[in-house]
Amino acid sequence: MNLVVCLKQVFSTEAKIRISPDGRAVSDEGVEWVMSPYDEYALEEAIRIKEATGAGTIIAISIGPDRCTPMLRSALALGADRALHLKDPMFDSVDALGVARALAAAIRRNPCDMVLFGRMGVGMDQGVIPAMVAELLGAPMAGLVVKITVDAEKVRCVREIDGGSEVVEMALPAVVTAQKGLNEPRIANLKGIMAAKKKPLDLLTAADLGLAAPDLQDVRLVHESYELPAPRTAARLLQGDPADTARQLVQILRNEAKVI
Amino acid sequence: MGTPAVKVREGTPPADAPETEAPAGAKGSGGFLTSPVSAAGVFVREMFTPDQLDFADTARKFVDTEVLPRLDEIEHKKTVTVGDAEMLLVVQILKKSGELGLLGAEVPEEYGGLGLDKITGMLIAESMSGCPSFSTTVGAHAGIGTMPIVIFGNEEQKQRYLPLLASAEIVSCYALTEPGSGSDALSGKTRAVLNADGTHYAITGEKMFITNGAWADIGIVFAGIDGKYSAFIVDLRSPGVSRGAEEKKMGLHGSSTTSLTFDGTLVPRENLLGKPGDAATIALNILNLGRMKLGFGSLGTCKFAIDRTVAYGRERRQFGRPIIEFDMQKGKLGTMVARTYAVDALGYRVVGAIDAEIAKLPKGEGYQQAVAGVLRNFALEASILKIAGSETLHDVLDSAVKMHGGYGFVEEYHVERLARDNVIDMIYEGTNDINRMVIVDSLVRAIYGGVIGSREYMEQVDSALRTGRLEIPAVDGPLGQEVARVAAAKRAVAFAVNEMILNCGTDIKNEQQVMQAIADALIALYGMESTLARALAGRARPIPAAIARLIVHEGSQAIARLTAEVLSHVVTGGRLPAKLARLDALNRQHGAVVDTMALRTRIADSVIEAGKYNL
Ligand SMILES: Cc1cc2nc3c(=O)[nH]c(=O)nc-3n(C[C@H](O)[C@H](O)[C@H](O)COP(=O)(O)OP(=O)(O)OC[C@H]3O[C@@H](n4cnc5c(N)ncnc54)[C@H](O)[C@@H]3O)c2cc1C
Ligand SMILES: Cc1cc2nc3c(=O)[nH]c(=O)nc-3n(C[C@H](O)[C@H](O)[C@H](O)COP(=O)(O)OP(=O)(O)OC[C@H]3O[C@@H](n4cnc5c(N)ncnc54)[C@H](O)[C@@H]3O)c2cc1C
């Protein structure tokens, strides 16, 4: 069974979030980048499927700048056979649909039985790309999957739904997104890390993928602005009898908080 | 390689010019004492390769997911059932770490390991920390229990044992200490007698305090053959081996420490490591590795304790504020962070230099012996690392416990256990006293042997001090003052070493307090120079620069005190006042007004903001 896993690099959950001066982006200065945690489940599942079926290849794909290389390398260390790094200045300004087009183009060139994603990239939390890719590939999709069973022609997925679970069956090729609980990702083996150096990690540009400027310049969604939540201030305890504290509270609400 | 962001003004004697060719003290034997202060060629952690970072990541994740959540169970020696065998949880975890390859990093690839360099081995040791009972179990198995076979084993022994050890299918230990033979490690009474057929040695004797004693399958056991102290690979499941009860220890409760008694235990002749009489070579080389690993384990635990303390101090509020915001606590935290950074800098400087030397060796026949030769040359630096690591950790944990208030005294918050566990770091792998003697011993040998060209240097220093022409370079750029201060400190230490040699001669051995002071001065010097080099290699970014300023200042002051103490003891008669005055002049000229309090606050603030040790 041939599998593709799409990986996104995101801020480590410990990262301190800052907004860029123009307010239109989240600053990545000094931030540690990691594989999106849901993508780890997707990758782990692909490795388990390959181990269980004993055949096929796993291709890890990511779209992004140079900093993605270590993440792809660690995917190879964990068990992917090949990595594709989609890198092109043209990708910098695309929206989610542009990313989906690039991924779909790469997947079409590497036909597979199943494409696995994390349910969303942690941080931006959009979760729209898997559905777009499924649509572009004309493949069925199951999201928020917590259990996968495959055979030669179809895949059965258990999905988390409100208050219970649902079982769906899809003909292959199909797209699946991983939810927490699907598995417990392994830790890279030191021998795997060594072996990863010998596995192919190919760079592909927009041209390599047969994508032309019009495909990528069709930006329909722009990020207008970002805002941080207001900083939490320490609670203040008002002292005095009820009438007095009520008076103080009104003063504060009117003069300091300016909400009444 | 990083180049220092300093410019040396004209008129500087070549002795202190940053060089690119011969990095400071890059060949060991205390050569740093007489080399120029320079960041060039000094390995720092900022130079790790992506692979090395991945290896460390695996080690750290393994500890975070498999070990830390089970610390209490390990501490109370929980057993688990695997298949139909019962084993201790800590042994099961050891075996799991073997499956990931964490125990075979330094075992050559052809014997089932990864054949990685020492930097990586040490980085893995640093990363598998914060859990000393587990770390010591790993160290006794993969370090001192395996490396004797890697370095001194013959082909057959390597093929037979190393794959099983790298995967931890069998567990090893290292049995050198005896009830009557601890620091004087080669004086053991255990005997090995060849049988009449010449096929087996019969080993008789008792070993004491053996880590992994309760569960090891094999051991590296030391015994005398006709007065020649030797090392054997012994199957501990064979008849005539008995294991004593677990010692009731102050710390490391999750590890096993027992005696091992051999009563005519038969060991096949082919299990002799090296030749009869090789014990000293084997033991000393293995100790060098073990000492460095211990230093790096301590380093990792320092960072772990800092992280716990910062997290605790941000949560815990008293007087309406998180306690970490109180100035006194910031002062402590700043010191903890700066000293940890210094151990990091000096530790990777040592292994970086070792790997650079090993990389020059031709592969093939005799390679491992040549590696052992390199390790031997770094005995002095290995001892510095062991002492600096274990004693810095001691101080860091002392502060960590206190900053936790009453909660630092109870089990739940980890630091209580770490503080108990750390005590043994200052006792095993050679007590820190013995390691201080190793430092001075190695230096004196290197000086007498002309290994580090220090005679001429010391004469230069002596005459410079006499004439008052100190020839300390003036250096521009960030940390220029610190470069000059380290150069001055080197001269002060060289001066004191010279006086020690001139006045004590061969009697040094009986002047152990002098040796201790000289060792402490060398430790301070190596720490401050390495810290400075690391800060310079990183283009003197603000926090590393603040740390370098603090460490150089504190080191200079310690050196001023220690060298004066040495002189006051060894220089006799009327010559003392003049000599002390020279030392004073040196210290005065290169003293500096440094606001150490502000530096500590600054360092602490950056770590508090990051929420963890982030350097
Ligand atoms: C938990 C634990 C685990 C251990 N694991 C192992 C192991 O796996 N394998 C193994 O072989 N050993 C092991 N040891 C033994 C350990 O290495 C020794 O305890 C250590 O070397 C000190 O020896 P000793 O206890 O006999 O102390 P001693 O040598 O009796 O020392 C007592 C004191 O005298 C000082 N002293 C000794 N000689 C001198 C001198 N010449 N000059 C000045 N001062 C001196 C020492 O510094 C020390 O302060 C372990 C010990 C412990 C407690
Ligand atoms: C074994 C044991 C027995 C005890 N017995 C008793 C008992 O019998 N009766 C009883 O009432 N209590 C008892 N205690 C409680 C003990 O008195 C407290 O633990 C102690 O007062 C410290 O308080 P804390 O633990 O809340 O630490 P915290 O007050 O939270 O202090 C944590 C750290 O912050 C520092 N800190 C706090 N405030 C400031 C500040 N303003 N400026 C700078 N630094 C600051 C502290 O010095 C400390 O380093 C006991 C505790 C233990 C562990």
Q: Does A187 touch chain B (CB under 8 A)?
A: yes
Instruction: State if residue B387 touches ligand 1 by the CB under 6 angstroms criterion.
Output: no
Please classify residue A135 by burial: count the beta carbons closer than 10 Å to its beta carbon, then call 0-12 exposed, 13-18 middle and 19+ buried.
Answer: middle
In sequence order, the 6+-apart residues with CB closer than 8 A to the CB of B452 are: B29, B30, B31, B33, B34, B446
Residue B184 Cα to ligand 1 middle (Å): 8
Range in B50-54, B259-263, B340-344 with the lowest mean pLDDT: B50-54
Buried b (16+ CB within 10 A) or exposed e, B477-492: ebbbbbbbbbbbbbbb
What are A132-137's contacts with CB under 8 Å, separation 24+?
A: A132/A96, A132/A97, A132/A100, A132/A104, A133/A6, A133/A100, A133/A103, A133/A104, A133/A107, A133/A175, A134/A174, A134/A175, A136/A100, A136/A101, A136/A104, A137/A104, A137/A107, A137/A108, A137/A173, A137/A175
Looking at chain A, the whole-number percentage of residues with pLDDT higher than 90 is 72
Please, which pLDDT band fits residue A223 given cuts at 50, 70 and 90? confident
> What are the pLDDT digits (tens) for B418-440?
999 999 999 999 999 999 999 99
The structural domains of chain A, ordered by start, are 3-216 (3.40.50.620), 231-260 (no CATH)
Give the mean pLDDT of chain B: 92
| pLDDT > 80? residue B24 | no
Instruction: State if residue B249 touches ligand 1 by the CB under 6 angstroms criterion.
Output: yes
Cβ pair A189:B101 closer than 8 A: yes
| pLDDT > 90? residue B100 | yes
| pLDDT > 50? residue B17 | no
pLDDT reported for residue B4: 37
Q: Does A67 touch chain B (CB under 8 A)?
A: no
Interatomic CA distance for residues B434 and B382, integer angstroms: 13
H or E element at residue A114: strand A114-118
pLDDT reported for residue B53: 93
- Considering only CB atoms, which chain B residues are within 8 Å of A70? 50, 53-54
Active site residue: B429, B499, B529, B565, which one? B429
Which ligand neighbours the alpha carbon of B324 most closely?
2
Interatomic CA distance for residues B564 and B585, integer angstroms: 12
| pLDDT > 80? residue B201 | yes
H or E element at residue A191: helix A190-196
> What are the pLDDT digits (tens) for B390-418?
999 999 999 999 999 999 999 989 999 99
Q: Per-residue pLDDT averaged across A200-210, rounded?
A: 96
Residue B435 Cα to ligand 1 middle (Å): 11
| pLDDT > 90? residue A44 | yes
| pLDDT > 50? residue B22 | no
Interface of B with A (CB under 8 A): 50-51, 53-55, 57-58, 61-62, 65, 99-102, 104-105, 114, 320, 609-612
Whether residue B429 lies in the annotated active site:
yes
CB A240 within 8 A of CB A248: yes
| pLDDT > 90? residue B612 | yes
Count the alpha carbons within 13 Å of A32 in the hemisphere toward its beta carbon: 8
- Considering only CB atoms, which chain A residues are within 8 Å of B99? 189
| pLDDT > 70? residue B6 | no
Which ligand neighbours the alpha carbon of B406 most closely?
2
Partner B, chain A 15-34, Cβ-Cβ below 8 Å: 16
For residue B314, CA distances in Å to A124, B179, B255, B329, B609 come to 28, 47, 33, 11, 10
Please, which pLDDT band fits residue B7 given cuts at 50, 70 and 90? very low
Tell me if residue B438 falls in helix, strand or coil.
Answer: helix
Q: Per-residue pLDDT averaged across A174-188, rounded?
A: 96
Interatomic CA distance for residues B154 and B179, integer angstroms: 30
Interatomic CA distance for residues A93 and A101, integer angstroms: 13
DSSP output for B187-231: G---EEEE-TTSSEEEEEEEEEEEETTTT-SEEEEEEEETTEEEE
Instruction: State if residue B455 touches ligand 1 by the CB under 6 angstroms criterion.
Output: no
Instruction: State if residue B433 touches ligand 1 by the CB under 6 angstroms criterion.
Output: yes
Cβ pair B611:A190 closer than 8 A: no
Q: Per-residue pLDDT averaged across B176-201, rounded?
A: 96
Q: Per-residue pLDDT averaged across B554-574, rounded?
A: 94
| pLDDT > 60? residue B9 | no
Q: Per-residue pLDDT averaged across B383-390, rounded?
A: 98
| pLDDT > 50? residue B160 | yes
pLDDT reported for residue B16: 41
Q: Per-residue pLDDT averaged across A112-116, rounded?
A: 97
Range in A189-193, A233-237, B323-327 with the lowest mean pLDDT: A233-237
Range in B257-266, B465-474, B488-497 with the lowest mean pLDDT: B465-474
What's the 3-state SS for B569-590?
HHCCHHHHHHHHHHHHHHHHHC
Work out the minimum CA distance from A29 to partner chain B, whole angstroms.
Answer: 13
Work out the minimum CA distance from A227 to partner chain B, whole angstroms.
Answer: 21
pLDDT reported for residue B470: 67
Interatomic CA distance for residues A44 and A41, integer angstroms: 5
Torsion of CA A115, A116, A119, A124, to 10 degrees: -80
Residue B156, token pair as written in the block:
């057959």
Residue A15, token pair as written in the block:
């990262």
Detail the DSSP E strand segments found in A130-200: 141-150, 154-161, 164-171, 174-178
Which ligand neighbours the alpha carbon of B184 most closely?
1
For testing contact with chain B, the best of A33, A187, A189, A194 (most B CBs within 10 A): A187
| pLDDT > 90? residue B307 | yes
Please, which pLDDT band fits residue B493 given cuts at 50, 70 and 90? very high
| pLDDT > 90? residue A228 | no
| pLDDT > 80? residue B85 | yes
| pLDDT > 50? residue B265 | yes
Q: Per-residue pLDDT averaged across B126-138, rounded?
A: 96
Interatomic CA distance for residues A161 and A140, integer angstroms: 18
pLDDT reported for residue B456: 75
Please, which pLDDT band fits residue B25 given cuts at 50, 70 and 90? low
Q: Per-residue pLDDT averaged across A155-179, rounded?
A: 94
The structural domains of chain B, ordered by start, are 46-170 (1.10.540.10), 173-273 (2.40.110.10), 279-430 (1.20.140.10), 434-595 (1.20.140.10)
> In sequence order, what are the beta bridge partners of B519?
none
Looking at chain B, the whole-number percentage of residues with pLDDT higher than 70 is 95
Give the mean pLDDT of chain A: 92
> What are the pLDDT digits (tens) for B519-531?
999 999 999 999 9
Q: Per-residue pLDDT averaged across B310-335, rounded?
A: 97
In terms of Cα–Cα distance, which of A152, A103, A161, A108 is closest to A132? A103
| pLDDT > 70? residue A174 | yes
> What are the pLDDT digits (tens) for A79-104?
999 999 999 999 988 999 999 999 99
